[in-house]
């Protein structure tokens, strides 16, 4: 039985919804996959280690940066999902701006925030085994990745996102 964990960082949840949208296909895999951590779908949380971790979202806080290290250490294979996790996402617009100025406009008490000056992809912090690009990710690529990892083979994925083709 393969244990699967799904993790969220700074993101809109759209890539996790793509995974939930695969419910018919995932039911076929139900006897081979145990979902150990997927808060979007279930409050049940099983302790690691995890065979496969899917990670959505970018790193935007010191707590995020520490948490992704723990997830990497607890994961056999780590796959990042979508533009947020692979490139920093729309929230990376702040990388070329003054995040303190942004926060002062949006929040009544920005001094309560503990954020990094940048939004960075997961691969800037830990080793990543596979990246799924897109916003949101392509459902077919996600299913191919899960099927391949369950079969113990390398997923057949495009070398680049369509932006590079
Ligand atoms: Fe949402 Fe797009 Fe980020 Fe996925 S990549 S979490 S769809 S903003």
Angle at CA 131, nearest 5°, toward 120 and 25? 130
Lowest mean pLDDT among 12-21, 26-35, 155-164: 155-164
Decide if 6 contacts 56 (C-beta within 8 A): yes
Ligand 1 pocket test, pick from 14, 131, 142 with the greatest ligand atom count within 8 Å of Cβ, gives 14
How far are the Cα atoms of 29, 54, 56, 104, 111 from residue 85, in angstroms, in the given order? 25, 10, 5, 26, 26
Q: What is the pLDDT of residue 74?
A: 98
Share of the chain above pLDDT 90, in %: 82
Q: Which sequence spans correspond to the domains of the chain? A: 2-158
Q: What is the pLDDT of residue 24?
A: 86
Lowest mean pLDDT among 8-12, 15-19, 42-46, 130-134: 42-46
Q: What is the pLDDT of residue 143?
A: 92
CA of 85 to the centre of ligand 1 (A): 8
Instruction: Decide whether any atom of ligand 1 lies within 6 Å of the 155 Cβ.
Output: no
Q: What is the pLDDT of residue 30?
A: 78
CA of 88 to the centre of ligand 1 (A): 10
What is the chain's mean pLDDT, rounded?
A: 92
Instruction: Decide whether any atom of ligand 1 lies within 6 Å of the 99 Cβ.
Output: no
Instruction: Decide whether any atom of ligand 1 lies within 6 Å of the 11 Cβ.
Output: yes
Altogether, the residues listed in the chain come to a count of 165
* pTM to 2 decimal places: 0.93
CA of 135 to the centre of ligand 1 (A): 5
For residue 83, how many other CB atoms are within 10 A of its CB? 24
Per residue in 97-149, pLDDT (tens digit) is 999 998 999 999 999 999 999 999 999 999 999 999 999 999 999 999 999 99
Q: What is the DSSP letter of 134?
A: B
Spatial distance between the Cα atoms of 33 and 47, rounded to a whole number of angstroms: 15
Predicted confidence (pLDDT) at residue 165 exceeds the cutoff of 60? no
How far are the Cα atoms of 79, 151, 160, 163 from residue 4, in angstroms, in the given order? 11, 14, 25, 29
Decide if 137 contacts 83 (C-beta within 8 A): no
Predicted confidence (pLDDT) at residue 150 exceeds the cutoff of 70? yes
Predicted confidence (pLDDT) at residue 95 exceeds the cutoff of 90? yes
- pLDDT-derived band of residue 161, with 50, 70 and 90 as boundaries? low
Domain spanning 2-158: CATH 3.40.50.700: yes
The whole-angstrom distance between residue 38's C-alpha and the CA centroid of its chain comes to: 11
Q: What is the DSSP letter of 154?
A: -
Instruction: Decide whether any atom of ligand 1 lies within 6 Å of the 14 Cβ.
Output: yes
CA of 103 to the centre of ligand 1 (A): 21
């Amino acid at each position: 039985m393969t244990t699967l964990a799904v993790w969220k960082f700074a993101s809109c949840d759209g890539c996790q919804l793509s995974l939930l949208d695969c419910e018919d296909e995932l039911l076929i895999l139900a006897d081979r996959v145990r979902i150990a951590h997927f808060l979007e779908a279930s409050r049940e949380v099983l302790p690691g280690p995890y065979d496969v971790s899917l990670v959505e979202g970018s790193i935007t806080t010191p707590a995020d940066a520490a948490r992704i290290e723990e997830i990497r250490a607890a994961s056999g294979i780590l796959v990042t999902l979508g533009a947020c996790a692979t490139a920093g996402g729309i929230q990376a617009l702040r990388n070329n701006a003054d995040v303190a100025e942004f926060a002062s406009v949006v929040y009544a008490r920005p001094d309560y925030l503990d954020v990094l000056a940048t939004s960075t992809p997961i691969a800037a912090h830990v080793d990543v085994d596979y990246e799924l690009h897109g916003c949101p990710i392509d459902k077919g690529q996600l299913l191919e990745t899960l099927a391949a990892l369950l079969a113990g083979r390398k997923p057949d994925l495009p070398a680049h996102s369509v932006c590079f083709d």
